[in-house]
Structure formats: structure tokens, C-alpha cells
Amino acid sequence: MANPVLDNLSKKWAPGQTPAGYPTMPGYQVSGQSAQNPYGGQTNPYGQPQGAYGQQTNPYGQPQGAYGVPQGAPYGIDASQMGAYEAAMNAPSADAVDRGRMTYDDVIVKTGITFGVIVVGAVLGWMTFMISMAAAVVLSGVATIVAFGLAMANTFMRITNPALVLAYAAFEGLALGAISAAFETRYPGIVIQAVVATLVVFGVTLALFASGRIRNSPKLARFTLIALVSFVVFRLLTVLLEFSGAVDTTAVGRMTVMGIPLGVVVGVVAVLIGTFCLIQDFDRVKVGVEYGAPARAAWTCAFGLAVTLVWMYLEILRLLSYLRND
């Protein structure tokens, strides 16, 4: 016979069973039924839906994110301001152009413009020589003096003026065209040879510098400066002696040293010094770009390259003329 007390205790303390016959855990409820509040109150005393851990799903009618924090812009920032902030944060960082800094493209463009003006001036000088040799001589002399003055002004100015650079290029081109026409008249084909030789020296030096095979150094810079100043003084003395009639520089140039014309030796030395100057110019461009020089400094680099290449072209032209005489 069953004991009613034990049966009652068994029903009270024994775990319930799920519809599938498994024992239930405390708090278990059949699907579709709401859980009872163990303290006798309402399931949600505030009449609002609750999430996990008793947090209100939406306490103030606003969408919520993690840990009950309302979604959207924090601290009273509206959606439009938040969108602008996110757009600014996601925008790409400012590059050298946006910050007004010099780039390699700036140097290439400014150098191209400078040499374009030189070529135009050279064409005019060449045409003047073909029309009147006397006018070309006067034009080349005046243009050389003006170009030299503009070069000195650009060299010692704190900030290079683009207008002065282009003015230098124009007058230098006029003188260069007249001089080239005079050499071409005496030595046919020499101008194109000099142009090609100058471009080859420029290209090879640039390739070696870009690859790291040759680099600038304080010792090289000092040597280049001393050699350049010495050579400029030598050329100025040569010009003064030529105009005074004291020395025939052409005859001196044809004098031989160990069977080699002195003019050829001087020309080779000049080309070597010009090559060292090109290394200085390339290094100036590299340092300017890496250290964020102002965009205006690209004109300074273009001016330096123009002076070096024009001078190197004239020395190669002179060197080839001595070789032609042999």
C-alpha cells in the first residue's frame, strides 16, 4: 500500500519531467509559457521588455548597442556630425602635394619647362646666325652677359624666382643657339654629336645614382666645389686673354701633352667636373624630396640642372672640335 505522506513528498521534491520524459532543471518552463516571478511580482515589473541579465531592451525608446549603451552618436552628437567625423577619419592622409612639398614630379615638370624655353631660345639664336652672322655675334655676347647675371642672381637669392629662372633659360638659349650654329658651320654634324654625348652622360650618371652605385659625400662635395671654382677662374682668364689678344687660346688648345691636344685634356677634365656637379644636383633633389622641401624649391633644382647640362654641352662641343681638328 502506498504511503500518502511519502507520495506527497515525492511529488513535491522530485524533479519534474519534460514532455520527452527527461528530468527538468530549476526554472524550466514549457515553450510558449511565461516564467513566474519567484518573488510573486510581475514578470517585468516595469512593463518593459528585458534582455539578458535583466537589462531593459529599450529603456527610453532608443536603439541600444552593447551593454545597454544607446546606438548612434555618443555625447549628444547628431548623426550628420558623426557622419562627417567618420568620413574625415576614413579619408586618405594628405600627400606631399596636398602639404605643398616638393616631389620628383615637380622637379621633372619644372626642368622640362626650363629646357623647353632653352630650346626655343636656341632656335631663335640659330636662325639669327643663319640670317646675319654679325647680328648673331652681338646677340650671343649680350645674351651671355645677361644670362650670367641672371645665373648669379638666382644662385645667391634666398628663394629662387621662377620668372628669373625662365629669363635665364631664354637668354641662355639665345646664346647657345648662336654658338651652336657657328660650330655647326665649321664642323658639320658636331651639334647633334654634342647633344647625344650630353644626354648619354646625363642618363648614365642618373642611372648610377639611382641604383646607389655612386653617391654624394662631403669629400666629393668639397672636391667638386674646389674643382669647379678653379675651372671657372681658368675659363675667365682664358676669355680675358683671348679678348686682349695676348694669347691665342686656339693655338694653346692645339698644343699636345704626351701626344694628346691640351684642349682635349681640358675638355675631359671639364666633363668629369660636370659629372660631379650632376651628382650634387641629383643629391639635392633627393634630399629636398625626402626632407619635405617647399614645392617652390623644384625651380631651384631645375635651375641647377639647366646650368650644369648647358655648361657640359658647351665643353663637349669644344672637346669634339679639338678632336675634329686632329
pLDDT in tens, 114-140: 999 999 999 999 999 999 888 888 998
Percent of the chain with pLDDT strictly greater than 90: 42
pLDDT in tens, 145-192: 999 999 999 888 877 889 999 999 999 999 999 999 999 999 999 999
Q: Report the residue count for the chain.
A: 326
Binning pLDDT at 50, 70 and 90, where does residue 240 land? confident
Cα atoms found within 13 Å of the Cα of residue 292, Cβ hemisphere only: 7
Q: What string of DSSP letters covers 71-93? A: SSSSTT--HHHHHHHHHHHHSPP
Smallest CA-to-CA distance from 210 within 273, 272, 271, 283 is with 283
* 3-state helix, strand and coil shares in percent for the chain, rounded to the nearest 5: 65, 5, 30
Stated pTM of the model: 0.68
